[in-house]
C-alpha cells in the first residue's frame, strides 16, 4: 500500500524554522512520504543556505528558483511553477507555513492543481488537502503585504494550526468552522528550544567583541521602514543615540543594505563608535545574540516571539503587531518609528529591571508533535 505523501512548501527565511520541527516529527512517525519544496523566494546564502544548514533541514527535493520581483510577479511565478510540481508529484497533503508570498502562492497552487486521486475506477479529480501552520494571526493592518497572505491562506486551508488563543478567536470570528481549527502552540519555539541546546560552540559574541547583557541587537527589513528614506533617517537618528549608550549589533538584511546604501545612510551608520554591522546571520548565531542582548529593536514578526520566550526586552519598530500575545504575556512593546519615542523607550528599558514575563500557553516545544499527530490522522483517510 502506498504511503501517504505530504509536501511541505517553504520559500523565505522565516519559513525554515517553522518547517524544520515538523519535518523531523513526521520523519520520526515514519508512516508518510515527505517532500520539501523551496520556492527560491529567498536565494541569498545569508537568507537561505545558512538557515537550512543551522536547522539541519534536508535539501529541498525541488527548488522553483523564483527569486525577486514585484510581489505580483513573485507570487505569480511561484503559483505557475508550483502547479507543475504538484501535478507531477501528486501529494495527498500540502503544508504551507507563515505568511510570506510563497505561503499564499503555494496555497493557491494547491487549489488550482486538481488531479485524479481516487481508485482507478474513480476518475474524479480532487486537489490535495491544504494545511496552514501559523494560522489565524492578524495585524488588522491592511497595508501590510503579509496580512493579505494570512487572510487568503487561512480561508483556503482545510486544516488550520493556530499558535495562540487569539489566533483561534480570529479564525472563528471569520466563520471558519471549529472542526478545522487546532490550537497547537507555536512551532517557532520548537526550533528555538532546540537551538538553545546547540549554542555551546558559538563564538559569535567574541567575534563581534560584545559581552553578555551589554549590547543591543537590531534587525530591520520591512519595506515600510527601510524603503522610505524619511522613516529610515529617523530610525538612524535613534540608533545613533543608542550606539552612544551601548554597542549595537546590526545584522543587515540584503534589502536594508541595498536601500540604505542607495540613500547614503549606510555610510552614516558606520560613523562613530559602537555600531557593529554584519551581513544577515545564520539562525544559531542570531539566537545566541538574542539570548544575551540587553535589548532588541526589530520590525520582524518572529523576533517578537523569540524574545518573549527568551525573556529579553523587545522594542518593535512598528505600530501594529499580529502577535499581541508577545505584549500581553511577553517582553514586547510597540514603539513605532518616531525617533524621540524610540529613544525614550530604549531609555526606559535601560533604566528598568527586567520584569518576569509569562511564556504563552503551548509554547512548549511540542507544537510539531501535535501538528504531525493531526496530519497523520487526516492523511490516513486519504490514501486509497
Q: Does 17 bind ligand UD1 (CB under 6 A)?
A: no
Cα–Cα distances in angstroms (integers) from residue 1 to residues 31, 129, 371, 378, 380, in the given order: 11, 20, 24, 17, 11
- Residue 43 vs 283, nearer CB to ligand UD1: 43
In this structure, how many other beta carbons lie within 10 angstroms of the beta carbon of residue 88?
Answer: 10
Closest distance between ligand UD1 and the C-beta of residue 253, in Å? 6
Residue 252 backbone dihedrals phi, psi, to 5 degrees:
-100, 125
Region of residue 112 (left: phi > 0; alpha: psi -120 to 50; beta: else): alpha
Q: Which three cell numbers stand for residue 67?
A: 527569486
Residue 221 among the catalytic residues? yes
Angle between helices 283-291 and 187-196 (to 10 degrees): 80
Q: Does 15 bind ligand UD1 (CB under 6 A)?
A: no
Residues 239-258 that bind ligand UD1 (CB under 6 A): 253-255
Count the helix, strand and coil residues of the chain and give each as a percent rounded to the nearest 5.
45, 15, 40
Q: How far apart are CA 188 and CA 128, in angstroms?
A: 25
Number of residues lying near ligand UD1 (CB under 6 A): 18
Residues 287-306 that bind ligand UD1 (CB under 6 A): none
Closest distance between ligand UD1 and the C-beta of residue 45, in Å? 8
Q: Does 221 bind ligand UD1 (CB under 6 A)?
A: yes
| Residues β-bridged to residue 62 | 37
- Nearest partner of 352 among 295, 296, 267, judged by Cα: 295
Contact string (CB under 6 A) for ligand UD1, positions 125-154, x = contact: --------------------xx--------
Q: 197 CB contacts (<8 Å, ≥6 apart)?
A: none
Q: Does 279 bind ligand UD1 (CB under 6 A)?
A: no
In this structure, how many other beta carbons lie within 10 angstroms of the beta carbon of residue 308?
Answer: 26
- Residue 25 vs 39, nearer CB to ligand UD1: 39
- Residue 43 vs 161, nearer CB to ligand UD1: 43
- Residue 221 vs 362, nearer CB to ligand UD1: 221
Closest distance between ligand UD1 and the C-beta of residue 47, in Å? 4
Closest distance between ligand UD1 and the C-beta of residue 158, in Å? 23
- Residue 6 vs 17, nearer CB to ligand UD1: 17
Contact 224, 143 (CB under 8 A): yes
Contact string (CB under 6 A) for ligand UD1, positions 46-65, x = contact: -x------------------
Classified as helix, coil or strand, 341 is helix
- Residue 25 vs 103, nearer CB to ligand UD1: 103
Catalytic site residues?
Answer: 221
Chain residues in the site for ligand UD1 (CB under 6 A)? 12-14, 41-44, 47, 68, 74, 100-101, 145-146, 221, 253-255
Amino acid at each position: 500500500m502506498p504511503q501517504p505523501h505530504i509536501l511541505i512548501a517553504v520559500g523565505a527565511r522565516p519559513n525554515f524554522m517553522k518547517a524544520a520541527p515538523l519535518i523531523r516529527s513526521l520523519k520520526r512517525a515514519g508512516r508518510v512520504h515527505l517532500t520539501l519544496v523551496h520556492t527560491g523566494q529567498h536565494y541569498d546564502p545569508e537568507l537561505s543556505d545558512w538557515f537550512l544548514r543551522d536547522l539541519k533541514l534536508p535539501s529541498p527535493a525541488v527548488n522553483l528558483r523564483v527569486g525577486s520581483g514585484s510581489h505580483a510577479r513573485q507570487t505569480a511565478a511561484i503559483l505557475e511553477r508550483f502547479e507543475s510540481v504538484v501535478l507531477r508529484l501528486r501529494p495527498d497533503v500540502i503544508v504551507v507555513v507563515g505568511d510570506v508570498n510563497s505561503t499564499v502562492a503555494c496555497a493557491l497552487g494547491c487549489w488550482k492543481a486538481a488531479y485524479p486521486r481516487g481508485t482507478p475506477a474513480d476518475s474524479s479529480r480532487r486537489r490535495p488537502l491544504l494545511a496552514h501552520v501559523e494560522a489565524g494571526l492578524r495585524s488588522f493592518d491592511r497595508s501590510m503585504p503579509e496580512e493579505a497572505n494570512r487572510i487568503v491562506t487561512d480561508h483556503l486551508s482545510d486544516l488550520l494550526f493556530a499558535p495562540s488563543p487569539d489566533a483561534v478567536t480570529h479564525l472563528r470570528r471569520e466563520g471558519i468552522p471549529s472542526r478545522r481549527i487546532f490550537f497547537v502552540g507555536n512551532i517557532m519555539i520548537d526550533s528555538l528550544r532546540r537551538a538553545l541546546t546547540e549554542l555551546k560552540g558559538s563564538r559569535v559574541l567574541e567575534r563581534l567583541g560584545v559581552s553578555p547583557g551589554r549590547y543591543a541587537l537590531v534587525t530591520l527589513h520591512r519595506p515600510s521602514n527601510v524603503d522610505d528614506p524619511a522613516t529610515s533617517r529617523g530610525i538612524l537618528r535613534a540608533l545613533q543615540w543608542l550606539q552612544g549608550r551601548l554597542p549595537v549589533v546590526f545584522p543587515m538584511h540584503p534589502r536594508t543594505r541595498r536601500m540604505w546604501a542607495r540613500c547614503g545612510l549606510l555610510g552614516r551608520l558606520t560613523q562613530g563608535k559602537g555600531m557593529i554591522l554584519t551581513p544577515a546571520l545564520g539562525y544559531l548565531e542570531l539566537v545566541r545574540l538574542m539570548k544575551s542582548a540587553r535589548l532588541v529593536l526589530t520590525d520582524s514578526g518572529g523576533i517578537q516571539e523569540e524574545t518573549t520566550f527568551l525573556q529579553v526586552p523587545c522594542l518593535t519598530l512598528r505600530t501594529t503587531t499580529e502577535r499581541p500575545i508577545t505584549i500581553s504575556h511577553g517582553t514586547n512593546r510597540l514603539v513605532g518609528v518616531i525617533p524621540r519615542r524610540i529613544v525614550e523607550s530604549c531609555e526606559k528599558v535601560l533604566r528598568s529591571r527586567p520584569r518576569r514575563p509569562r511564556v504563552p500557553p503551548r509554547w512548549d516545544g511540542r507544537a510539531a508533535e501535535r501538528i504531525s499527530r493531526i496530519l497523520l490522522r487526516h492523511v490516513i483517510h486519504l490514501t486509497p
